Chains A and B, each alone.
Chain A
Amino acid sequence: METARILIGTSGYSFRDWVGPFYPSGTRAKDFLPYYARHFGTVEVNSTYYGIPRPEVLARMADKTPEHFRFVVKLNQAMTHDRSLDSNVVRDFQAAIEPLKRAGKYDGLLAQFPWAFRRTPENRRFLASLRDRLATEPLFVEFRHDSWLTSGLEGSLREHGMGFCAVDEPRLSHLMPPVAMVTSDDAYVRFHGRNEAAWWGGGAHRYDYDYRREELEEWVSKIRELADRARRVYLFFNNCHAGQAARSAKLMQDLLRQHQLPV
């Protein structure tokens, strides 16, 4: 099997409340990933955002997946939310992802910045230094605040070799709209759901959303365009409640196949 041009997966896979909706009942946590990998060709590792694991953790994940399975790893919150480029943090993080590289299953890093990270000179400097510190890594950047969406964004990201992470999220004031662009070899889209009512307020339901088919259809032409221009297109679903992300990802797979896109 060759690597597909469009890779679809979810943001994280290890959720207890997916047992039933996605994992067959009785599936134990250690068996989640092998099961997941039978349905999807890629995963966005999100646990690294909360804590930097020991290298063995990602080594085990690499072992549990087939040869062509791909990983993208989310940067730790110390880097994106506390804006720390402490050399210990960067070193530990790089050590953690090393086993994925050795296994030949590593496709890059995702830097997801919070809404508070606006386009200011200070934050632009931070972004440049983050790029410097991770100079050899494929790096995708997700902005939540729409101040970043200027006419110069596309060219600057390209110049710095950073991939733009497009988003589907509620159309709330000053949140990033669903703009897609290709600024590095690969294109990247994250689907956060459209739960407007729960987006703010810090409750557990921000990502509680079940996409309807016609909502995903809005993306088909954009994804076709991305696929024409990029080497690979990653689509990750982050609407993680009760297996909804896996359901949406499946729905997207069907949809793109129907449109004869190379999934």
Chain B
Amino acid sequence: MILLVDMDAFFASVEQLHHPGLRGKPLIVCGDPQRRGVVTAASYEARPFGVHAGMPLQEARRLCPQASFVEGNPEKYVALSLRLLDLYLEFTPDVEPFSVDEAFLAVSGRGATLEGAVEIARSIQRAVDERLGLGATIGVGPNKLIAKMATGVHKPRGLTAMSPEDFRRWFWPREVRELWGVGPKLAERLNALGIVTVGDLARAAPASLEGAFGVIGPQLREAASGHDETPLVPYHRGVDPKSMGHEVTLPEDSDEADYLQGTLLRLSDQVGRRLRSEGFRGRVVALKLRDRDFVTHLRQTTLPHFTDDHREIFQNACRLWRTLWKGGEVRLLGVTVAGLEPAEKASQAELFTTHTRDGLLRDATDRVRDRLGESSLVPAGALTGRSRMSHVPFGPLTKSWKPPAS
């Protein structure tokens, strides 16, 4: 069975955990509270006032003036997210992080039945609460789709298990936009075809769906029936990974070269750091670019040697970007390094420490970041459009950052 563990109001709950005075009260996590911006996360206490993520701060202030506004601290969330992954790995070796506050788990043995998987889910909820003081909602199902959608049925601290029959009984009468992967625009187009509920979609003629939506048409129909064969990809399976990458959907489509390049630098930096922390080097750099029409372009290049250096990754990503980008609006960017090999194969590093001279500076940088957080050191170019860089996961800048003296 598959579990989706979804942390309840994760950012807000973490802040309440660290500020006991704010527990049980409306709390809104945002960027700099002094400036205009949007709500990053709202605690459950703030939600009855109509406050939700993505809402302009001014509106949130008007709806819920008594709320505490707290500046988000991504390092804290990432650190806790990693602790959660470690905790899940006590229950199963097959864990796939889905976002900073969600992870898919595959459970076998007694977890092979819905009832057994529910017992495991209950133990996980208890462990998350006892050890980290946080609430989690878990959806259980035979595949990722059903597990994911089951988490939405009852929150917070919910536990919902669904067989395919349960899925159909619960979701078929509901609006089609409740189906995972159907956004408001897609829902409108479906509605225009007379497809109003999830059940309508499941019963629609495959040919007409394909005509209207192309290849994703039949996939949508399968999803509406509760079918999903997407494999779970354990990040921790012990076998060496084949590639490591980061990608990000921009908060707004952009055609500004500086902004896009700055994003590439941040992504390259993150990939480089991850390679170094996991002990890999790669010789293929790949760039992914999705334009505003959802068309995805991929291009890759092979280097003459293995690297884990962000500058080299960035230079190559930029080269690819120049050949791929025609000046149009970009929706998503991703940088991946593939063709990986354990770093020590090349350098024969000893067990606990690596002393390669050219790696010393990067090691030092990584250590500073381990101690002080991602934002303590960033490559200078990534400062372009600093205030707008917070869309890159795992390490946006915070106001504690100060420019280097030189």
Contacts and interface: CB of A to CB of B under 8 A. Distances in A.
A230 interface: no
A203 B236 contact: no
B55 interface: no
B238 A157 contact: no
B352 A82 contact: no
A124 B238 contact: no
Contacts of A156: 350-352
Contacts of B123: 202-203
A122 B123 CA distance: 29
A103 interface: no
A120 B351 contact: no
Interface residues of A, number: 34
A149 B279 CA distance: 15
B85 to A, nearest CB: 7
A226 B279 CA distance: 32
B92 interface: yes
Question: Which residue of A120, A155, A156, A200 has the most chain B CB atoms within 10 A of its CB atom?
Answer: A200
Question: Which residue of A122, A157, A159, A160 has the most chain B CB atoms within 10 A of its CB atom?
Answer: A122
B352 A160 contact: yes
A152 interface: yes
Question: What is the size category of the interface that chain B forms with chain A?
Answer: 35 or more
Nearest to B79: A82
B236 to A, nearest CB: 7
A173 B277 contact: no
A120 B352 contact: no
Contacts of A119: 279
Given A115-B89, A201-B92, A82 B343 contact: no
B107 interface: yes
Nearest to A174: B238
A263 interface: no
A197 interface: yes
Contacts of A221: none
20 contacts: A82-B83, A116-B85, A116-B89, A116-B90, A122-B278, A125-B367, A128-B353, A131-B352, A146-B238, A152-B351, A156-B352, A174-B238, A198-B109, A201-B92, A201-B110, A201-B111, A202-B91, A202-B120, A203-B119, A203-B123
Interface of B: 83, 85-86, 89-93, 107-111, 116, 119-120, 123-124, 127, 236-238, 276-279, 343, 349-354, 367, 370
